[in-house]
Amino acid sequence: MSELNNVLQRTFVREFYRLNAMFFLIIIGVAFGFMRDTEHKAIAAFITSSPVWTLVPTVLWSLYGFKICSFNDQVCKTKEMNFIHGLSLLPISTQLLSALRVAFNQFLPAIAYGSFLIATAVKNNIISSVISLIAVILIQLSVITYLLYRQIEFTHVEARVSFLKDWSDKNFQKSFTQFFTEWLARSQPGMLVTIKIFACVMIFAVCQLYRYDDYDYRLLAMGSLVAFATNLVFTSQFILFENHIFSMMRNLPLPMSKRIFYFFLSMLALCLPELILLTRNFPRQLHIYQLLAIVLFGFSIFLLGYSALLRKNNGLEELSGTIFLSFIALIILILFSIPLLLISAIVLLLALYRLPKNFYEFELLNEKAK
């Protein structure tokens, strides 16, 4: 039993946190780098003041749970995990217990913050919020456990193409950007939805702060940096798609300028929700050129990430520490009022200088291509 649990922990839990290291580092940086303990306590007190406000963490935990279930489903469908199908021969109680341990460890960040909210509600003697939070956590954990149990039991499922997709494939010519975005939506739906909602909520929340106080461009620049840095995960997926899933693209005799154009077009398609939200809610007290500077700043970060990830066999998880330090350095530059256009120009020049060499020297390892 212990050997089985060790295998499942390595396969599901460690791999989940490894692949999402950048996401958790950004969350930790935002939560503990820019907020004091008094602010955390004030937010917790507000959330637990009424069972209605506990819907806020409930929605976020549901998105996180969806991300976990999507990851578990992908793992169960890989060829390397065919042996998991044999676990269905074990007693049902053993299967459920093993799935519960995996689900608990994957859902642990939400459980930890939920415990903090529950402790706050108990301190303020708000029993209704305590019951609501405990019920939400138990329900979420039960759903993740049950779905993992079902995914392990039914590993082999026949892939089917819907009528709508079959019709569109036959009647419309697709670009490289469409190929990439559709593949990303099918292969990583949990990651895509979670990151999009997090980035959009971040931009919307920062823009709303300008209605209640007089801030300069730096607050929006930092909020946009968090949103764009979260989207760096798509850059690593673009490299995987370009070099392994759709490797024909790499072998075509395309100039580097055209490859960069395809990359920017793909990132633009993925970041349309954030850009639309930023444009519609752009603070009136800021100048329009600052909006253009923020957008250029975000896409310069994408290009630098693309260039850095193309260094010999570097994955996002291997560079997570460097990316986090770069994120803090950019925050410091923004706080010191260094012009965004100047930062963007330096970042773009650095990326363009290294990109051709890194691209032609890049080799995707088999382990990374899986």
Whose CA is closest to 297, among 347, 257, 252, 247? Answer: 347
328 in the same domain as 181? yes
Q: What is the pLDDT of residue 367?
A: 46
Q: What is the pLDDT of residue 165?
A: 64
52 in the same domain as 29? yes
Please report how many Cα atoms fall inside a 13 Å half-sphere around the Cα of residue 352, on the Cβ side: 11
Helix/strand/coil for 124: coil
Whole-Å CA distances, 12 to 9, 254, 270, 351: 5, 39, 27, 34
In a domain, 166, yes or no: no
Q: What is the pLDDT of residue 181?
A: 92
C-alpha span between 241 and 248 (Å, rounded): 10
C-alpha span between 36 and 264 (Å, rounded): 37
Sign of the CA dihedral with 101 first, then 156, 315, and 186 last: negative
104 in the same domain as 177? no
321 in the same domain as 254? yes
In a domain, 164, yes or no: no
Token code pair at residue 238: 């673009």
Last residue of a domain, one of 112, 133, 159: 159
208 in the same domain as 107? no
Q: What is the pLDDT of residue 299?
A: 94
227 in the same domain as 360? yes
Last residue of a domain, one of 159, 193, 216: 159
State the residue range of the domain holding 58. Answer: 2-159
Q: What is the pLDDT of residue 70?
A: 82
186 in the same domain as 128? no
Q: What is the pLDDT of residue 369?
A: 41
φ/ψ of 349, rounded to 5, equals: -65, -40
Whose CA is closest to 243, among 351, 353, 359? Answer: 359
Q: What is the pLDDT of residue 294?
A: 95
In a domain, 145, yes or no: yes
Domains in the chain, number:
2
Burial 111-135 (b: 16+ CB within 10 A, else e): bebbeebbebbeeeebeebbebbee
Assign 3-state DSSP to the chain and report helix, strand, coil percentages, each to 5. 80, 0, 20
Residues of the chain with confidence (pLDDT) below 50: 367-370
66 in the same domain as 23? yes
Q: What pLDDT digit, counting tens, does each position of 192-226 carry?
A: 888 898 889 889 988 988 888 888 899 899 989 98
Last residue of a domain, one of 159, 190, 217: 159
16 in the same domain as 117? yes
Token code pair at residue 321: 């520490």
Residues 239 and 259 sit within 8 Å (Cβ to Cβ): no
**For the chain, what is the largest distance between any 2 Cα atoms, rounded to a whole number of angstroms?**
68
